[in-house]
């Protein structure tokens, strides 16, 4: 079933922890490129919930800006906190802001959270090849009450590679069912051998089809399963 495929893909590519240095390249169609660099630390935990902390280090304009994302596994709202260095202030990101762009990129705050397959209804639309590789084409729609309330998307369509169970292209539609975003994962690398291979994309291109603007994420460094202190994911340490 589509649900079993999505669950299998989610489980296969989950790492206990990960630390990456990511370059963000922002560009409007035909315009100049703007670069940003961030460190991202993340922990995946099915019991306690996923945690992620992102800190910009370049350029000066956004240096020190941080995002902390904490998943709530008990059914409440997930927590996202934004630290603004210019004001030395931390503010909570509200549910109504999940469809807002994260620091002028083409990523929504929603995109910086883990999508759990059980919260969506899935169906297989067809099979087709992407770059010569057979894929399942799967449509997903919010299912749980919490996801229906929070998600800015009415549905997503993903192309899931059959050999490595990894999503390559995907398309996202707004609540009026209009295509708003396309994402493509490239430069796939195997970062761990367990479960047939855990893969990551060293290049991800996110395109806003309406604004004709794209954000390219380039992974410059990656550490797999490093030890990350729980203190890292305390909102009281933001800005420190």
The tens digit of pLDDT for each residue in 32-45 reads 999 999 999 999 98
pLDDT higher than threshold 80 for residue 73: no
Q: Does residue 225 or residue 115 have the better pLDDT?
A: 225
Give the pLDDT score at 82.
95
Is 26 in contact with 213 (CB distance < 8 Å)?
yes
Mean pLDDT on 94-110: 92
pLDDT higher than threshold 80 for residue 77: no
User: CA–CA separation, 5 vs 108, rounded Å?
Assistant: 25
User: CA–CA separation, 219 vs 19, rounded Å?
Assistant: 10
Give the pLDDT score at 208.
96
The residues, ordered by sequence, that sit 6+ positions from 229 with a Cβ below 8 Å of its Cβ are: none
Give the pLDDT score at 75.
67
Range name among 127-131, 167-171, 190-194 with the lowest pLDDT average: 190-194
Mean pLDDT on 135-155: 93
**What is the rounded average pLDDT for all residues in the chain?**
94
Q: Classify residue 167 as exposed, middle or buried by CB count within 10 Å of its CB (0-12, 13-18, 19+).
A: buried
Cis? peptide before 28, omega within 30° of 0: no
Which band of pLDDT confidence, cut at 50, 70 and 90, is reported for residue 28?
Answer: very high
Mean pLDDT on 19-25: 98
Give the pLDDT score at 67.
97
User: CA–CA separation, 155 vs 143, rounded Å?
Assistant: 10
Give the pLDDT score at 56.
97
Which band of pLDDT confidence, cut at 50, 70 and 90, is reported for residue 195?
Answer: confident
Is 200 in contact with 166 (CB distance < 8 Å)?
no
Q: pTM for this structure?
A: 0.93
Mean pLDDT on 42-63: 93
User: CA–CA separation, 64 vs 239, rounded Å?
Assistant: 7
User: CA–CA separation, 127 vs 113, rounded Å?
Assistant: 27
């Amino acid at each position: 079933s589509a649900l079993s495929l999505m669950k299998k893909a989610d489980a296969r590519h989950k790492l206990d922890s990960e630390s990456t240095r990511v370059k963000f390249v922002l560009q409007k169609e035909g315009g100049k490129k703007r670069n940003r660099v961030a460190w991202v630390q993340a922990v995946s935990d099915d019991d306690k919930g996923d945690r992620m902390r992102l800190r910009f280090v370049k350029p000066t304009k956004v240096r020190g800006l941080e995002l902390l994302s904490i998943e709530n596994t008990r059914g409440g709202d997930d927590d996202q906190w934004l630290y603004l260095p210019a004001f030395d202030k931390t503010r909570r990101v509200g549910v109504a802001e999940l469809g807002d762009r994260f620091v002028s990129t083409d990523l929504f705050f929603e995109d910086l959270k883990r999508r759990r397959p059980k919260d969506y209804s899935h169906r297989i639309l067809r099979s087709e090849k992407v770059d010569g590789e057979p894929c399942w084409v799967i449509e997903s729609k919010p299912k749980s009450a919490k996801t229906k309330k929070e998600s800015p998307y009415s549905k997503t369509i993903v192309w899931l590679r059959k050999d490595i169970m990894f999503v390559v292209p995907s398309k996202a539609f707004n609540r009026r069912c209009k295509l708003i975003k396309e994402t493509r994962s490239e430069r796939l690398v195997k970062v761990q051998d367990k479960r047939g291979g855990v893969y990551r994309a060293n290049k991800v291109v996110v395109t806003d089809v309406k604004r004709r603007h794209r954000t390219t994420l380039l992974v410059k460094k990656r550490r797999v399963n490093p030890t990350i202190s729980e203190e890292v994911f305390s909102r009281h340490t933001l800005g420190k």
